[in-house]
Amino acid sequence: MEYFDRGGEIEVTGVPDFDLVRIFECGQCFRWEAGENGVYSGVAMDRAARARRSGGSVFISGSAEEFESVWRGYFDLDRDYPEIRRALSIDCFMREATDFGAGIRILRQDRWEALCSFIISQRNNIPRIRKIIAGLCRLHGEALEFDGKQFFTFPSAAKLASLRASDLAPIRCGYRDEYILGAARAVASGSLDLDALAAGSPEHARAALRGLRGVGDKVADCALLYGLNMLDAFPVDVWMKRAVAERYGPGFDPSVFSPFAGIAQQYIFYYVRNQKTLAFNTPT
């Protein structure tokens, strides 16, 4: 990988598997919006930014210092995704899924934002998740001016911990309001230390997250994968349950994809969500 300061933008070259559409539209994040000519704008890590592709390069707004401190890690640019795809291509179905999803990278998201976002995501669809999160940020985040528009940071756990359920009523998140506030209070008080969990074992982190009211296996595994960057976590929602059942049968063990089961999950999820049918009849 190489990058060049183009005066307000960083041009990134030499990174295979770096497709902005697939990264932002694969269900792992909810705050990047597509604009004209494939330009995405959003907020991550308390910074508003713009990302676009031109030719073989990706351009990310900001300085070289910001790229090194934020975006290089956020986009996981030092990981060899083509090699991971080769390792995950254990049968015909996975070869199809990894080829279809080539360009996806697992974002290294803010730990609290990932946990809160996937609490909101449960039993919800992506447009509504986006709407609720946008409302939460508009009401309780900090305003940012960027490209002549107003953006908002994701509210901190400490900020949300001071609220009541009625304060979340305008975003219409329903029963999830108490789950959001409970998680915020646990993180703000230090009884749930996300940084410490990220440095520990997935088993311990999963158990700690599941101790939160409203956090089951799927939300916990999403927080592990997208927030704590534990790449062997394998979130299972209705799409994944159907996909692995039809392709691999009952009792499927995702450890067959270790140590990148979470990346395998993302390829499978993106593939099956974009197919009109789940016709997995290709022999292995």
Q: Per the omega criterion (within 30 degrees of 0), is the bond before 235 cis?
A: no
Are 236 and 218 spatial neighbours (Cβ–Cβ below 8 Å)? yes
Q: pTM for the complete prediction?
A: 0.93
Residue 273: pLDDT band with limits 50, 70, 90? confident
Residue 276: pLDDT band with limits 50, 70, 90? low
One of 3.40.50.1820, 1.10.3720.10, 1.10.340.30, 3.30.360.10 is the CATH number of 111-227, namely 1.10.340.30
Domain spans, the chain: 2-78, 111-227
Structure tokens at 247: 């392709």
CATH 3.50.30.40 for domain 2-78 = no
Structure tokens at 224: 């592990």
Q: pLDDT tens across 57-76, in order?
A: 999 999 999 999 999 999 99
Cβ-based burial of 251 (10 A; exposed 0-12, middle 13-18, buried ≥19): exposed
Q: pLDDT tens across 15-29, in order?
A: 999 999 999 999 999
